[in-house]
Chains A and B, each alone.
Chain A
Amino acid sequence: MIQNAWLIPVFPLIAFIILLFFGRYLKQKSAYVGITAMALSFILAVLVLFERIGGDTYTNTITWLTFGDSTISMGYEVTALNAMMLIVVTLVSLVVHIFSKEYMHEDDRINVFYSYLGLFSFSMLGLVLAPNILQLFIFWELVGLCSYLLVGFWFFKPEAAAAAKKAFLTTRIGDVGLLIGLVLLFTATGSFEYGEVFAAMEAGLLNGTISEALVTVIAICIFLGAVGKSAQFPLHVWLPDAMEGPTPVSALIHAATMVAAGVYLVGVMYPVFLASNTAMTVVAYTGAITAIFAATIALVNTDIKRILAYSTVSQLGLMILALGTVGYVAGLFHLMTHAFFKALLFLGAGSVIYGLHHRQDIRKMGGLWSRMKVTSITFLIGALAIAGVPPLAGFWSKELVLAAVWYEGDIFLFILAVLTSLLTAFYMFRLFFKAFTGEFRGDHEPHGENSKLMTMPLVVLATLAVVAGFVNTPFGFWLEGFLTEGLNVGYSAHGDAWLIFLSIGIAVAGIALAWAMYYKKSIPEDFLSSKFPGAHKVLLNKYYMDEFYQKAFVLPTVTIGKFFWEVDRSIIDGIVNFVGRSTRNSGRTFAKRHDGQLQTYGLVTIIGGLAVIAVAFVLGGYFG
């Protein structure tokens, strides 16, 4: 079955093509096409995973281009990491497909929506299966395109159109870095294949043909791509805005899969990063800063989807931090568990938003516990999982991340990670208590729990959020053994007992604080914000990052653009218009002379002939 792994991305592609051509006739039935394709992909992915667990890495490539001594191939590869990612992507995608049927059924363009989802699933699975980094880059750009299309799905809303543009342009900055990294890597090693690249790099470092500085530059360039795609500081600004897209899209692309592609990229290229201490430090600090930075913003935001978006940024920061501190398994394990519980949270939020007729402000919610039972319970499970309460999935992976950071030895990074965990627990339960408990503060009573079609995906994901962590516990490191088998990706840290208790303590402390402030109200809500109004304002305005970018990059760019536009308009166009106008005017002038008078023509001919003769005489020396 593993040799048929290439079929996994093909199913959604077929769905995409079908919907592209026949979508307008299928309308609501489009959902079935997409769901069927994804279900097939998922079944195949499960089969592939089982085969991979029992077997070995499978690679199948064909030659694509040959120039000189270099060969670029394309094909597919099933490694341990790929197999895990395939499961995550197909499962979340399938669940989102099912969820969207109900969520999007009011939308007239549901067939377009499903075709985009199909294209995205194809691209993401292709990215995961890519056997070389060039092919990965192609699919990398494709998922970026899908993100653009889906964020801007409601393009008639100006915010959505702007958000789509922002998402595309911001990630583009990172993509340019990635492309530069690819070119440098190719010139250094002469190959795009993962294995060959790593082997050539190792050999080059040993015999000195590749300097460590070059490796650092390559690693940081590749990391730039991850920074853009995984919304790391300072390119994180697009992800919260991307919440303008439909909520299932947020769950699929901007929580579980595409934003994790950056983490996946770092994981795939891990040997390159391991070869450079500087690059690892950069990665670790970027992750840590992003994690704490986004977590603080999430503390004060009031939009349910944006809180989750900042939470995503923060959790992605933790993954990157784990990878930067040699926690290969920790980062990827957290990637997997996070995909499940963040998709769950987003779909839960989607269920809430759908129930409340597209209202997203948590100040206008409250008391949903009694009104939307299933959504509330599953959301609570997701919140507990992300807060890191045992024995849910988030606990095991987060504990592993903390352990990796601790054993790396940088106490500053460790404090940031712990603080982020505390804040995560706090803001998630702030969200939970405000939205689901207390009195209903909205103006429009929800119509009760949503249909089975929407709650079943939540239940599935909730189950996974509970059990997914058991694949890698201190009682059995199955995932670790699976992922690191035959790979040299550094040591992996296992937490000591005190770390486990610290982890639990953080989660409980955060939840308790939120409980006291937003449920019991024993601490007034504005306790901190009234004490530190300045800090609160800064957080509300997201550290003024958007304003800063507006002033620092957008405005100068626009100004320069306007300047060159003026130059183009006045000088370039002026020249062009002058040429055109003078041609036209001379044409008019000479057309007047073209009056049909044969004798005039004759006279002009004679005068011209005389001029020629005169020149010939002068040049020929007839006049001495």
Chain B
Amino acid sequence: MVHITFFLALAAILFCIGLYGVLTRRHLVIVLVCVELMLMAVSINLIAFSAIGPSAGIEGQVFTLFIISVAAAEVAVGLAILIALYRNRESIDVIKHDLLRW
């Protein structure tokens, strides 16, 4: 069996790529995609621990299910907001959406 550290390293790398994308990409859809990547990295961790962790059990898989549900809901709402935003401001650029400015 593959040692658990490999899975954890993979998850960490995916998480960081997602994070970097969230911080730097300017297309709103891509930002949402990167958020999905980060969630997925967490799921990998959960499944890995669930299968070959120190206290392996079914809980990791159950919570991965929850994460997938939340991610699905998040994508649906996120894209809805994105479309409403695009309709109102005619732009998909993150930098242009600075309504929180002082």
Contacts and interface: CB of A to CB of B under 8 A. Distances in A.
Interface of A: 591, 594-599, 602-603, 606
Contact of B22 (A595, A597, A599): A599
A589 to B, nearest CB: 12
A603 B98 contact: no
B101 interface: yes
Nearest to A601: B100
Contacts of A594: 100-102
A597 B23 contact: no
Nearest to B22: A602
16 contacts: A594-B100, A594-B101, A595-B101, A595-B102, A596-B97, A596-B98, A596-B100, A596-B102, A597-B95, A597-B98, A598-B97, A599-B23, A599-B24, A602-B22, A602-B23, A603-B23
Contacts of B102: 591, 594-596
B68 interface: no
Interface of B: 19, 22-24, 94-95, 97-102
A602 B22 CA distance: 8
Contacts of B19: 606
Contacts of B100: 594, 596, 598
A443 B9 CA distance: 114
A104 to B, nearest CB: 65
Nearest to A597: B98
B23 A596 contact: no
The 5 closest A-B pairs by CB, nearest first: A596-B98, A596-B101, A596-B100, A594-B102, A591-B102
B98 to A, nearest CB: 3
Contacts of A599: 22-24, 94-95
B20 to A, nearest CB: 10
Given A603-B23, A606-B19, A606-B23, A598 B101 contact: no
Contacts of B95: 597, 599
A340 B94 CA distance: 96
B11 to A, nearest CB: 17
Most buried by A among B24, B95, B102: B102
Contacts of B23: 599, 602-603, 606
Contacts of A591: 102
A595 B95 CA distance: 10
A596 B97 CA distance: 8
Nearest to B99: A596
A363 to B, nearest CB: 77
A229 B44 CA distance: 94
Contacts of B94: 597-599
Contacts of B101: 594-596
Contacts of B97: 596, 598
A599 B19 CA distance: 10
Nearest to B101: A596
Most buried by A among B24, B95, B97, B99: B95
Nearest to A588: B102
A595 B98 CA distance: 7
A602 B20 CA distance: 10
A409 to B, nearest CB: 89
Contacts of A602: 22-23
B54 to A, nearest CB: 19
A157 B94 CA distance: 73
Given A599-B24, A602-B22, 7 more contacts: A591-B102, A595-B101, A596-B98, A596-B102, A598-B97, A598-B100, A599-B94
Contacts of A595: 98, 101-102
A609 B19 CA distance: 13
A602 B100 CA distance: 13
B55 to A, nearest CB: 23
A598 B23 CA distance: 8
B19 to A, nearest CB: 7
Most buried by B among A597, A598, A606: A598
Contacts of B24: 599
Contacts of A597: 94-95, 98
A595 B23 CA distance: 15
A532 to B, nearest CB: 83
A595 B102 CA distance: 6
